[in-house]
Amino acid sequence: MTTQAQLHCFCLLTLYLTTGYGQEGKFSGPLKPMTFSIFEGQEPSQLIFQFKANPPAVTFKLTGETDGIFQIQPDGLLYHNKTLDRETRAVHRLQVSALDAQGNTVEGPVPVTIEVKDINDNRPVFLQQHYEGSVRQNSRPGRPFMYVNATDLDDPATLNGQLIYQILMQLPKVNDVMYFQINNQTGGISLTPQGSQELDPLKNPSYKLVVSVEDMGGLNEHSFSDSAPVVITVKENIWKAPEPVEIEENLTQPYPIKITQVQWNDPGALYSLVGKENTPRLPFSIDQEGDIYVTEPLDREEKDEYVFYAVARDEQGKLLSKPLEIQVKVKDINDNPPTCPSPVTVLEVQENEQIGSSIGTLIAHDMDEENTVNSVLEYRIVDQTPKVPRDGLFLVHTYHGTLQLVVQSLHKRDTPQYNLTVEVSNEDFKTLCFVQINVIDINDQIPIFEKSDYGNLTFPEDTAVGSVILTIQATDADEPHTGSSKILYRITQGDSDGRLEIETDPQTNTGYVKLKKPLDFETVAIHNIVVQAENPEPLVPGVQYNASSSATFRLTVTDVNEAPQFFQQVFEATVSEAVAKGTKVGNVTARDPEGLDVSYSLRGDKRGWLRIDPVTGEIFSAAPLDREAESLYRVQVVATEVGGSSLSSTAQFHLTLTDVNDNAPRLVKEYTGLFFCYPLKAPGSLIFEATDDDQPTFRGQHFTFSLGSESLQKDWEVSKINGTHAHLSTKHTGFEERVYNIPIRISEGGRQPMEGTVSLSVTFCKCVENRCFQPAAHMPGIPPVGMAVGILLATLLVIGIILAVVFFRMKRDKGQHNAESAQASEVKPLRN
């Protein structure tokens, strides 16, 4: 081969040298260990490297895993004469030796490693041409239930051997929803969330998928792929709640006892039980096969049914599906005796009760389950005390427990009470219950008044309500303190207005006639009252109330002079405060019960605003009204009868005044102490607020402000802030140090607007710490300094004269009196 051809081959070759000397771009060198990386599939006769020998070496020898592919020329040129295949051999380990002319090794052998680099020259292939699998409906989404696998002979450490799985087709595809998904790395096929919820073997028992596998990670358009069909059978979900379980109570066999079973669709689930209610402890357990056990005897009378849940979780504790409800009903056995409703059951029977009448029912109880043979009770009378007038007076229904009178009627005077012993039994137990039967009197006697006429009663019409005006008495021969002998009194005639009532003493049946409402001579002067005495218990057939149960009395009401009566206690009226004097503003009305004329007058008219017509009760304005002074004016109206005793009564008259605009605006307060510091360095302003005493409208108060004199406009200005506030501002700084009185004109809007002028006093004064400071000499009422000194000297002079006089008197009288007289002498001049 010529040197030019060798250079051409070197240009086509890509070398990767991994040891010291050989580097990219250097294709010759001394004999030393080297590693070369060469892509598979390249054309044969590709040059790899040229080793150079040092004398006496004249040629080279190649040994090792040449596979007839690698050769070396005598001049040290290493090349391959066939195409490399990584899948046949990925690494070739060669040895190169340098020989002298006699063929003796003078250098080496040195190792030379040829690494065959992979190219994508193999397509992935599924391990099976056809796949079949099955899945349970409602299986957990995302958990693989089968796998598809493919292989690729290319280097798995390179992109050439990286395989990606995907589902190309799903048949049928209901509502264009994918029920299956595949892990693109592992080939694991699982359900989508929709598939977990919607798969139903009754609708579609099987599905066909077409899955593909692609190398190059699916990222290269020149990648290879393969596909395979997958048939998936949908099986019925076995994670279902079992049928309700019945367990007989108080079982005697060894515990735990298996009662039912649950099973998850796939093996490896972790099972547990959870109570439906806040049960402190369940008498049940579950093993990891899904078998559910009862762990202790159950008592139906304590709890007749248990409801709890079986839970399936994966290894990470995540729920595999919704828990299953487990129902356990405790089956009854006959383990409870009958119980009596009470130590003694008390019944009553009337003495004239007919044969066959029901007296009452003895209701015993059995804790065993109702409507079963265990709780069916039978009743039987085993004893009667006393046996008077004979034994067997009563019968009890075998199954109902109803007691009947079966021989003859009873008489209370003969035997007032009977005691029965009743045997109550079920299949295995017997209990004795006791019944007391009281013979009660019947209402065969009517109440009889002690007298039929209570005569005439006279009471004034002002007798107090609640007063007892009459005591009546009737008697009843039936048994005392029963409904047959208790007496109720009822007025049947003469009291249509319901002014009377009758209360009965429950112990004596005495009736007390009382006033329920006031008597009224003018309405009814004479009442002819009829009273009926009755029992709350109905009379027996054939017995009726008659005249003996009725009584009468005559009530005469005498007249009492009563004060006039107003038709209402509060009279109200509303007028404008601007009504003219003499305008009618309201009226009141009263009547005298005796029909006398009524005269009206006012009381409490402290402002003298009103007058009343003494005859008609009409009320008129007597002076101008002022809502701002009093918006609700209250007076008393007095109605006095004319003639008679001149009795009177009072009522209230409330007059509400509505507003008119009759008040000029004014300042909301007296503004004192307004000042500017002198000399004024810059124009300033003050804020003031206005109001008026009229009632504000729903829009509030709105005033306009202006200076009260045009001559002030060169020095001052007034600007409105809002409806009630304004600024008073100076226009310049050239003001004197004195007090300025600024007139402000305030006007209001609306109907009949009014205007007022107010004055603001503003002082210009020297300031200390932003406060107005005026020297004492300039303050009103403070005397000048000279005058103050004169006053002080005069005062001191007077005090000195008084002290001298006192001293002189004390010295003159010294020694003439004792100590007490001396003290008195000292005091007297002071008193004088």
Grouping H, G, I as helix, E, B as strand and the rest as coil, residue 731 is coil
Grouping H, G, I as helix, E, B as strand and the rest as coil, residue 725 is strand
Q: How does pLDDT run across 162-216, given as a tens digit for each residue?
A: 999 999 999 999 999 999 999 999 999 999 999 999 999 999 999 999 999 999 8
pLDDT of residue 411: 80
How is residue 80 written in tokens?
Answer: 């391959």
User: Among 224-238, 265-279, 785-799, 806-820, which range has the highest average pLDDT?
Assistant: 224-238
Which residue, among 738, 745, 645, has the nearest Cα to 688 in the 3D structure?
A: 745
CA dihedral 454, 458, 464, 467 (to 10 degrees): -20
pLDDT of residue 281: 83
User: Exposed, middle or buried, 747 (CB in 10 Å: 0-12/13-18/19+)?
Assistant: middle
Which residue, among 631, 649, 653, has the nearest Cα to 640 in the 3D structure?
A: 649
725-730 and 685-691 beta bridge pairing: antiparallel
Q: How does pLDDT run across 529-574, given as a tens digit for each residue?
A: 999 999 988 888 888 999 999 999 999 998 877 788 898 999 999 9
Which residue, among 352, 377, 538, 510, has the nearest Cα to 446 in the 3D structure?
A: 538
d(CA 287, CA 274): 14
The residues that bridge with 384 in the sheet, in sequence order, are 420
146-147 and 188-191 beta bridge pairing: antiparallel
**Is residue 724 within a helix (H) or strand (E), and if so which, with residue range?**
none
Residue 527 identity? H
What secondary structure does DSSP assign to 208-268, as a single string?
EEEEEEESGGG--TT--EEEEEEEEEEE-----PPPPEEEETT--S-S-EEEEE---SSTT
Q: How many helices (H) and strands (E) are present in the chain, helices listed first?
A: 4, 57
**Is residue 692 within a helix (H) or strand (E), and if so which, with residue range?**
none
d(CA 315, CA 826): 120
| CA end-to-end span of the chain | 166
The residues that bridge with 720 in the sheet, in sequence order, are 726
pLDDT of residue 816: 47
DSSP state of 777: G
Q: How does pLDDT run across 718-754, given as a tens digit for each residue?
A: 999 898 899 999 999 999 999 999 999 988 876 667 8
Which residue, among 554, 572, 561, has the nearest Cα to 513 in the 3D structure?
A: 554
Average pLDDT over residues 472-494: 90
CA distances from 446 to 477, 484, 540 (A): 8, 9, 10
d(CA 186, CA 148): 8
CA distances from 242 to 268, 270, 325, 447, 620 (A): 20, 18, 8, 74, 95
Grouping H, G, I as helix, E, B as strand and the rest as coil, residue 93 is strand
Q: How does pLDDT run across 315-353, given as a tens digit for each residue?
A: 888 888 889 999 999 988 888 899 999 999 999 888 778
Percent of the chain having pLDDT more than 90? 57
How is residue 708 written in tokens?
Answer: 């009260």
Which residue, among 737, 726, 727, 739, has the nearest Cα to 680 in the 3D structure?
A: 737
Q: Looking at 256-393, which runs of residues are DSSP E strands?
A: 257-261, 270-275, 284-286, 291-294, 305-313, 324-331, 345-350, 358-361, 378-385
Grouping H, G, I as helix, E, B as strand and the rest as coil, residue 648 is strand
Q: How many Cβ atoms are within 10 Å of 85's Cβ, its own excluded?
A: 15
674-677 and 755-768 beta bridge pairing: parallel
pLDDT of residue 828: 30
Radius of gyration in angstroms for the set of CA atoms belonging to the chain, rounded to a whole number: 64
| Owner of token pair 């990767």 | 16
Q: What's the gap between Cα 221 and its chain centre?
A: 63
Residue 781: pLDDT band by 50, 70, 90 thresholds?
Answer: very low
The residues that bridge with 52 in the sheet, in sequence order, are 30
Average pLDDT over residues 15-32: 56
**pLDDT score of 354 more than 90:** no
Q: What is the mean pLDDT of the chain?
A: 86
Q: How does pLDDT run across 72-84, given as a tens digit for each residue?
A: 999 999 999 999 9
d(CA 137, CA 195): 8
| Owner of token pair 């008129």 | 620
Provide the residue count of the chain.
Answer: 832
Q: How does pLDDT run across 95-134, given as a tens digit for each residue?
A: 999 999 999 999 989 999 999 998 988 999 999 999 999 9
User: Exposed, middle or buried, 37 (CB in 10 Å: 0-12/13-18/19+)?
Assistant: middle
Max distance between CA atoms of the chain, in angstroms, equals 179
Which residue, among 535, 537, 534, 526, has the nearest Cα to 551 in the 3D structure?
A: 534
